């Protein structure tokens, strides 16, 4: 580990793993993407000014529409909320940092580099132009051939990888690091909203990751999922909207959390029916996964399922009703202070009420039939998502004094709100008035021109209003009044109990709510407690419930300080970014001419730049990964933490479980895709492409390797270095045997049977694609497992893991998971 440089040093911002620094980075980057997406929106609005003249070509207009949607949904809304979450969730729960600080930095850098990749895609022959929903088969190279389209898809993939890391991190933090005495129902509402958000993200983004991987495979490797007429289009629809509907709440909930906080702070009242609000939020999170087909009412879904989806969709408005009423009743009998943050939060509520009511319209199928693809939808989701984001701007004003220590200018803030609120309604209410205009169309019926012109004027005013905010923040940061620790009269949450800005490690002493309110306690040595060491200052540390004495020896507390700096998250993300940039032009730069065998197959490189980028990026990626693994980075688990419902689970193990849960959804999506397409093609018309014997052998090989991992854990536990090396070695050897059989099988399929990723001499080409992509994804998991196993083997050879076998255990969890997946793949591709 290295020391964290001061905030004035540029280097700090590349190496920091501190949650507050990363929160600031997220917020500023998200505001940049707000401008980026906003400029694209203004281009769209200019095109809509006059239905008969164009400033953009049809292609360029579609690119603007697509990039605007992608940027605002993915690169602005969520990261803006996560900027606050990074900064304030650890403070609100009384933690020193997030559970995995380096992973947090990794999430940020993945986010930034994925955004840069998206920016670059504009210059790779034009970015994607298939709409942010990317409906199949418009999203495949046959219809969107530019390299930039592939670049945009890979950028989204990278973004999702970062999001997954972030999700695991927040779930582990909130479930594992709450201060003593803070039960799960005691968490501040912003933290509660974020908890619900990350739970939804865990499953929703896994589905997006899967569908993104399939699309990337179609675009880079040439598989034929989404051009398949055996349900390819609908496959995209289902997988995308299974992600897409929870995503609406994923971007809205952080804003809702801010509203719930601000309504309390600026009315001096506690939330009405708090328990019921929390229950409603949980209910919405679950229900959000049961409504996705309302985006597909006009596809060929049968009446029963449509009716069910209508009921769940209109029904999901009920828990929202409860939350809205609770917000309103919280204000009653309060002392409402019309500060800028409150105005934004209150404005957000009004906008959300309108967005919610118009959403109920869309839930009724007959109405949806007519609203589908029109500006009614556009207006509705802007009221919900951007209306929600209005509260996030309130959050920015609310927490600005805490982050900077300076007060913003109240008059300018109110001016911003007034202009924002009026122009917001100009833009989006005019869309309701001209709702019969089809979406993404600029040659519309001139009857509606007056509404669109009104909206365009509003859009420019709306865009300019943000410069009041930027000016306000910049000026206040430089020369604002000192804000003090707690500038608000009725704030409750812990971030207001410490200085502004908070110190690096947040707390003067250990925060505890054990007495019913926040106190900073100096720890004493508990009577008879195990493994307690006191440092020079008299502070003490205990290992909490899950005691690992060896751990203490490895990290003696008295000369070991938590780490806050690592460069490897940055370099690892950079490596992945370069590799993905290379992959975007990969299929255009390389071509294969298939011979009779692997020896006579030739590869032609027409443009060496992209393949070189892939290799360079991959080297950077693996190199950084190894460095990361070797780095001595110390992020101790919180002692005395509230951990319901995961009390007995150690931190890294909990993170591993969350990650595996999301990976279950990824494989679930791949297997569902295989089943869905096969069902559409006629189940019995497909025979297995492969012979079952190699698959059977591989099944035994993998199951045996799971067994040897258990032996490795036992050996490490018994401190037998020989045993550990032997059993880890066997695992690695079995892994290679598996891959060798796999390679033989693929070789046999390709050269002896004429089955390649997009051609099938024995049936539908899509069957071949599914076979290669699904078993390939599993193969990649095996390869990643082997890389980790080899890393562990070398470290074990050097004598590690004798005192702390947990890395072996966590690797084992992953390896077992990969083996279990195979148990599902084997019957589907080899037997039936």
Partner 1 sequence: MIDSLILQQGSGWRAQAEVFDEIFFVFLALGTLVGTIVVAYTLWNVYKYRDDGNRSDEKFDAPEVGELPTGQGGPKAKKLFLSFGLSAIVVISLVVYAYGILLYVEDGPDANGDNIEIMVEGYQYGWEYEYPNGHTETGEMIVPADTRIDIAVTSRDVWHNFGSSELRIKSDAIPGDTNTNWFSVSSEEVQAQGGEATYMVECFELCGPGHSAMEGQITVVPQDEWETWYEGTSGNSSNVEGGAGVDGAASIDAAIGGASA
Contact region for partner 1 (CB under 8 A) — 223-231, 391-399, 403-411, 501-509? 223-231
> Toward partner 1, which CB reaches closer, 643 or 742?
643
- 569 token code pair: 């998250």
Locate all alpha helices (DSSP H) within 129-226, ordered by sequence.
147-176, 189-216
> Toward partner 1, which CB reaches closer, 324 or 483?
324
Residue 415 buriedness (CB in 10 A; 0-12 / 13-18 / 19+): middle
The 10 Å Cβ neighbour count of residue 241 is 19
Q: Which of residues 281-310 bind partner 1 (CB under 8 A)?
A: 296, 298-300, 303, 306-307, 310
**Is 606 near partner 1 (CB under 8 A)?**
no
- 459 token code pair: 């859009």
CB of 683 to partner 1, least distance (A): 16
**Is 367 near partner 1 (CB under 8 A)?**
yes
Whole-Å CA distances, 505 to 18, 21, 369, 565: 9, 12, 55, 13
Residue 449 buriedness (CB in 10 A; 0-12 / 13-18 / 19+): middle
CA distance 196 to 272: 19
Contact region for partner 1 (CB under 8 A) — 52-60, 80-88, 792-800, 823-831? 52-60
Please report how many Cα atoms fall inside a 13 Å half-sphere around the Cα of residue 271, on the Cβ side: 26
Which position among 329, 466, 477, 791 is part of the footprint of partner 1 (CB under 8 A)? 329
| Bridge partner list, 180 | 512
CB of 441 to partner 1, least distance (A): 5
Which position among 35, 49, 374, 707 is part of the footprint of partner 1 (CB under 8 A)? 374
Which position among 28, 39, 305, 318 is part of the footprint of partner 1 (CB under 8 A)? 318
Q: What is the 3-state secondary structure (H, E, C) of 48-66?
A: HCCCCCCCCCHHHHHHHHH
Q: Kindly give, in sequence order, each residue whose CB lies less than 8 Å from that of residue 191, ignoring residues fewer than 6 positions away.
A: 88, 89, 92, 93, 174, 257
**Is 96 near partner 1 (CB under 8 A)?**
no
Question: Is the CB of residue 263 less than 8 Å from the CB of residue 336?
Answer: no
Which position among 486, 587, 704, 730 is part of the footprint of partner 1 (CB under 8 A)? 486
CA distance 392 to 77: 9
First-to-last alpha carbon distance for the chain, in angstroms, is 52
Which position among 273, 723, 763, 779 is part of the footprint of partner 1 (CB under 8 A)? 273
> Toward partner 1, which CB reaches closer, 255 or 576?
255
CB of 141 to partner 1, least distance (A): 13
**Is 326 near partner 1 (CB under 8 A)?**
yes
Q: Which of residues 686-715 bind partner 1 (CB under 8 A)?
A: none
Which position among 35, 50, 372, 460 is part of the footprint of partner 1 (CB under 8 A)? 372
CA distance 247 to 599: 48
| Bridge partner list, 258 | none
Question: Is the CB of residue 674 less than 8 Å from the CB of residue 770?
Answer: yes
Question: Is the CB of residue 29 less than 8 Å from the CB of residue 111?
Answer: yes
> Toward partner 1, which CB reaches closer, 334 or 562?
334
CB of 180 to partner 1, least distance (A): 12
**Is 354 near partner 1 (CB under 8 A)?**
yes
CA distance 799 to 806: 14
**Is 315 near partner 1 (CB under 8 A)?**
yes
**Is 185 near partner 1 (CB under 8 A)?**
yes
- 418 token code pair: 């007034």
Q: 312, 318, 250: which is closest to 280 by C-alpha?
A: 318
Q: Which of residues 423-462 bind partner 1 (CB under 8 A)?
A: 436, 438-443, 445
> Toward partner 1, which CB reaches closer, 133 or 539?
133
Contact region for partner 1 (CB under 8 A) — 135-143, 536-544, 781-789, 791-799? 135-143
CB of 438 to partner 1, least distance (A): 5
Q: Is 602 helix (H, G, I), strand (E, B) or coil?
A: strand
Q: Which of residues 513-532 bind partner 1 (CB under 8 A)?
A: 513, 516-519
| DSSP one-letter string for 6-36 | PTTSHHHHHHB--HHHHHHHHHHHHHHHHHH
- 366 token code pair: 């007959």
**Is 311 near partner 1 (CB under 8 A)?**
yes
> Toward partner 1, which CB reaches closer, 132 or 557?
132
Contact region for partner 1 (CB under 8 A) — 104-112, 359-367, 453-461, 467-475? 359-367
The 10 Å Cβ neighbour count of residue 199 is 21
**Is 260 near partner 1 (CB under 8 A)?**
no
Contact region for partner 1 (CB under 8 A) — 379-387, 482-490, 521-529, 771-779? 482-490
| Bridge partner list, 592 | 603
CB of 245 to partner 1, least distance (A): 18
Q: 210, 263, 215, 254: which is closest to 821 by C-alpha?
A: 210
**Is 335 near partner 1 (CB under 8 A)?**
yes
Which position among 18, 146, 287, 493 is part of the footprint of partner 1 (CB under 8 A)? 493
CB of 54 to partner 1, least distance (A): 9
Q: Which residue has the tokens 């370069």?
A: 578
**Is 267 near partner 1 (CB under 8 A)?**
yes
Query: With the C-alpha atoms ordered 808, 809, 812, 813, is the resulting torsion angle positive or negative?
Result: negative
CB of 308 to partner 1, least distance (A): 11
**Is 122 near partner 1 (CB under 8 A)?**
no
CB of 269 to partner 1, least distance (A): 8
**Is 322 near partner 1 (CB under 8 A)?**
yes
> Toward partner 1, which CB reaches closer, 418 or 733?
418
């Amino acid at each position: 580990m290295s020391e964290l440089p001061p905030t004035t040093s540029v280097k700090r911002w590349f190496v920091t793993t501190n949650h507050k620094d990363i929160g600031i980075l997220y917020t500023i980057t998200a505001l940049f993407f707000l401008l980026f997406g906003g400029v694209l929106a203004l281009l769209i609005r200019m095109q809509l000014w006059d239905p008969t003249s164009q400033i953009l070509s049809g292609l360029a207009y579609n690119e603007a529409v697509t990039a605007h949607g992608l940027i605002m949904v993915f690169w602005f809304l969520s990261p803006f909320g996560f900027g606050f979450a990074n900064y304030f969730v650890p403070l609100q729960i009384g933690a020193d940092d997030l559970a995995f600080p380096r992973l947090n930095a990794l999430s940020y850098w993945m986010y930034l580099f994925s955004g840069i990749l998206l920016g670059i895609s504009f210059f790779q022959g034009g970015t994607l132009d298939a709409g942010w929903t990317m409906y199949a088969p418009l999203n495949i190279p046959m219809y969107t051939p530019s390299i930039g389209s592939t670049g945009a898809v890979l950028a989204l993939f990278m973004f999702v990888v970062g999001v997954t890391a972030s999700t695991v991190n927040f779930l582990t933090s909130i479930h594992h690091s709450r201060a003593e005495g803070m039960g799960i129902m005691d968490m501040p509402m912003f933290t509660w909203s974020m908890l619900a958000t990350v739970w939804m993200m865990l499953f929703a983004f896994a589905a997006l990751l899967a569908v993104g991987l399939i699309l990337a495979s179609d675009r880079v490797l040439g598989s034929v999922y989404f051009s398949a007429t055996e349900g390819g289009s609908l496959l995209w629809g289902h997988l995308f909207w299974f992600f897409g509907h929870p995503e609406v709440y994923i971007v809205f909930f952080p804003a809702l959390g801010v509203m719930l906080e601000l309504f309390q702070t600026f009315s001096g009242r506690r939330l009405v029916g708090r328990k019921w609000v929390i229950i409603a939020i949980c209910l919405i999170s679950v229900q959000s996964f049961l409504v996705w087909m309302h985006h597909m009412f006009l596809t060929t879904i049968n009446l029963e399922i449509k009716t069910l989806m209508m009921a769940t969709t209109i029904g999901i408005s009920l828990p929202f009703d409860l939350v809205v009423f609770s917000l309103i009743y919280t204000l009653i009998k309060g002392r409402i202070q019309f500060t800028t943050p409150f105005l934004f939060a209150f404005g957000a509520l009004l906008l959300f009420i309108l967005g919610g009511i118009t959403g109920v319209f869309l839930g009724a199928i007959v109405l949806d039939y007519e609203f589908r693809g029109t500006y009614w939808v556009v207006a509705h989701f802007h009221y919900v998502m951007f209306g929600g984001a209005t509260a996030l701007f309130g959050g920015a004003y609310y927490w600005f004094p805490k982050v900077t220590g300076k007060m913003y200018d109240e008059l300018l803030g109110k001016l911003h709100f007034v202009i924002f609120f009026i122009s917001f309604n100009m833009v989006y209410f005019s869309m309701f008035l001209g709702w019969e205009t089809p979406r993404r169309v600029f040659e519309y019926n001139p009857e509606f021109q007056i509404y669109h012109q009104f909206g365009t004027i509003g859009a420019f005013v709306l865009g300019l209003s943000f410069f009041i905010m930027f000016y306000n923040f910049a000026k206040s940061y430089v020369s604002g009044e000192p804000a003090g620790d707690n500038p608000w009269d009725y704030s409750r949450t812990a971030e207001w109990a410490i200085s502004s800005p908070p110190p690096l490690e947040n707390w003067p002493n250990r925060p505890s709510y054990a007495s019913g309110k926040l106190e900073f306690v100096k720890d004493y040595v508990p009577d008879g407690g195990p493994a307690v060491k006191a440092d020079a200052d008299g502070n003490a540390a205990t290992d909490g419930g899950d005691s690992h004495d060896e751990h203490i020896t490895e990290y003696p507390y008295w000369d070991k300080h938590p780490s806050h700096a690592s460069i490897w998250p940055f370099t690892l993300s950079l490596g992945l970014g370069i590799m993905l940039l290379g992959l975007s032009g990969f299929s255009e730069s390389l071509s294969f001419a298939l011979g009779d065998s692997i020896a006579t197959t030739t590869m032609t490189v027409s443009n060496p730049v992209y393949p070189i980028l892939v290799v360079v990026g991959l080297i950077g990626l693996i190199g950084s990964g190894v460095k990361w693994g070797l780095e001595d980075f110390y992020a101790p688990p919180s002692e005395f933490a509230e951990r319901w419902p995961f009390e007995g689970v150690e931190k890294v193990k909990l993170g591993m479980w969350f990650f595996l849960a999301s990976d279950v959804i990824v494989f679930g999506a791949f297997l569902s895709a295989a089943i869905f397409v096969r069902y559409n093609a006629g189940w019995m018309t497909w025979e297995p492409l492969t012979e079952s014997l190699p698959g059977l052998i591989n099944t035994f090989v993998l199951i045996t390797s799971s067994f040897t991992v258990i032996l490795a854990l036992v050996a490490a536990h018994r401190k037998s270095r020989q045993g550990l090396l032997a059993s880890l070695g066997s695992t690695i050897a079995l892994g290679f045997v598996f891959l060798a059989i796999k390679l033989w099988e693929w070789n046999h399929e390709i050269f002896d049977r004429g089955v390649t990723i997009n051609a099938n001499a024995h049936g539908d080409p899509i069957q071949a694609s599914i076979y290669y992509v699904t078993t390939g994804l599993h193969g990649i998991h095996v390869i990643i497992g082997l890389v980790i196993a080899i890393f562990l083997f070398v470290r074990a050879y050097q004598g590690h893991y004798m005192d702390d076998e947990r890395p072996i255990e966590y690797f084992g969890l992953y390896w077992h998971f990969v083996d279990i997946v195979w148990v599902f793949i084997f019957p589907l591709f080899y037997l039936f």
